[in-house]
Chain A
């Protein structure tokens, strides 16, 4: 592959690495006690450097340990609804944030060749750990303007067709496909229906079922129903520890089944959308650990873990002959379900 520099999406100005710029601006309720303590630590630290009082550093150390411990405790006992909030955290790393961290090179490519370039779906040629891959993912935006540009990662039919075009391109040149999944769902709009949202999703499921190259999927944030599944028919799919994957949003489920969107926390429990539940029901093949306090607290660590999993999966899948690869993919999906014969 030609030497390429990372081409950054429009959101990258705001999304730069490092703990502080990523995590500071948005705090969820259950994170508040920790955030408060961390704010105090920061205050003390500026005081300590300002006045040169070394004695403070012992106290700072102690408080930092306490904060780390508190964060661990909070994250150990998260409810499904809290995980939903983390999965949707506006500071959570998105597809292009992973791209900059896991790819040695990246050349973004655009368009579905039929209607438009859907900015909710990004695709490009990448090299990960020396392996050339086609990387495809939903792309959320950071901030209002960027989110409008990305349509909140809710793809239109042309987004799924764009994804499919690059999968076919990957197949033509025998390159594995990596998909990063992070969408509230397929866009429910007028134009989307006109241009065949259902057909576009169905086509992807069908074509992914027969794509003759390895496909590895990672749910990095929100796996929203059919819009997520449309790039998720894979040989292996892994999910980040606090990411979710659900047949319907908890709010949608609550308003239909409980007739009250306010029951979303309850619906989040019932839907079994957390990583451990999904593993239990064989919906995902594995869970990727997140750094303490979630991926948004240390995107570099999250990305390193994602990269390691991609390389492990590719290591297993690339040597498989095409017929065995496809047979195993088919078998994996044929097995999913629970029924009684009598």
Chain B
């Protein structure tokens, strides 16, 4: 099944309104419980008008929110996973992938494409939590690597929108090594003097946080996103007591010094434009 939103071009920022079935006319906010008219929610980029809660949105939303209209062009779309370990738990890994593909219309948990943001040439990678928890395996690692290669070849900035539960254990150590692989590629990007901006969204945990998500020249996050290394449940088990309120949320991480800014969804694009202008604008050469 093709992802229509990635094929759709020149239709503007407004995505197709969802089919007005009685089920999704109104949406209840996960955070404050407010009942919101779904079209209103869409207009507000899926942010609750009452409490500012950021609803999770599919990857195409970030394309329409963050990129200059009509500039997005996906690449490496067909890259897909094999089952190197022959992994089987309650379900075969290959079946899990097939189910995720069907559910999301994607081939993997990372979508990559070229685009412009404020006129600056970029490569953007967007992770999809609905695809096996946004877990990182061989394909995500390879697509990330090729995204960096594209930046190097065409002098583009790299933007990655993270949301991921960590490494994909169905690929065993091959998946853990993607942490090293993506980090190695970021060194190459840095050596070329090209910027990397990491946008962390809810939730980003495990090896994803402990590799490319935390390695941005600038680390941005949406408000209220869960960001951490160990999951809250594991930590709770370790310390044997409840976690303090707001622990491992964006605001906590910024307070502790690990994020540069927390940016509401409506302001991410303008923030990226400011950053990219600073990083990419060619200064007139001193004579």
A residues neighboring B (CB under 8 Å): 186-190, 192-199, 201-203, 205-206, 209-210, 225-226, 229-230, 232-233, 245-248, 253, 256-259, 267, 270-273, 278, 281, 283, 329-330, 333-334, 336-342
Contacts and interface: CB of A to CB of B under 8 A. Distances in A.
A273 B172 contact: yes
Contacts of A225: 167, 176, 207
B98 interface: no
Nearest to B188: A330
B79 A248 contact: no
A339 B211 contact: no
A115 B240 CA distance: 24
User: Ordered nearest first, which 9 A-B pairs have the shortest CB separation?
Assistant: A188-B230, A337-B138, A257-B89, A205-B183, A198-B209, A198-B229, A201-B210, A197-B229, A338-B84
A267 B169 CA distance: 10
B177 A336 contact: yes
Given A258-B90, A336-B174, A209 B179 contact: no
A123 B168 CA distance: 31
Contacts of A199: 210, 214, 258
Nearest to B204: A198
Nearest to B216: A202
A225 B31 CA distance: 33
B169 A209 contact: no
B209 A194 contact: no
Contacts of B80: 339-340
Given A188-B238, A202-B214, A210-B187, 7 more contacts: A203-B215, A205-B211, A226-B206, A270-B172, A271-B85, A272-B173, A334-B185
Contacts of A206: 183, 186-187, 215
A294 to B, nearest CB: 22
A337 B207 contact: no
14 contacts: A190-B239, A195-B256, A201-B210, A201-B211, A201-B229, A202-B183, A225-B207, A229-B176, A259-B90, A281-B84, A283-B173, A333-B180, A339-B138, A341-B78
A136 B181 CA distance: 22
B78 A202 contact: no
A272 B172 contact: yes
A48 to B, nearest CB: 50
**Residue among B183, B211, B239, B256 having the largest count of chain A Cβ atoms under 10 Å:** B183
B181 A190 contact: no
A337 B141 contact: yes
- Give the dominant DSSP class at B's interface: helix
A190 B243 contact: yes
B85 A272 contact: yes
A270 to B, nearest CB: 5
B180 A337 contact: no
A193 B177 contact: no
Contact of B173 (A273, A329, A333, A334): A273
B174 A205 contact: no
Nearest to B243: A190
A287 to B, nearest CB: 14
A173 B169 CA distance: 39
A151 to B, nearest CB: 11
B256 to A, nearest CB: 6
B178 A337 contact: yes
B173 A247 contact: yes
Contact of A188 (B138, B185, B188, B235): B235
Given A246-B172, A339-B139, A202 B212 contact: yes
Interface in B187-218: 187-188, 191, 206-207, 209-215
Contacts of A233: 180, 183-184
Nearest to A197: B229
B134 interface: no
Nearest to A193: B228
A247 B180 contact: no
B65 interface: no
B4 to A, nearest CB: 21
Nearest to B175: A247
B174 A198 contact: no
A281 B181 contact: no
Contacts of B111: none
A21 B200 CA distance: 51
Contact of B210 (A197, A267, A271, A337): A197
A225 B181 CA distance: 15
Contacts of A330: 184, 187-188
B88 interface: yes
**Residue among B179, B206, B229 having the largest count of chain A Cβ atoms under 10 Å:** B229
B78 A334 contact: no
Interface in B256-285: 256-258
B145 interface: yes
Contacts of A342: 78
Contacts of A226: 167, 176, 179, 206-207, 210, 229
B11 interface: no
B5 interface: no
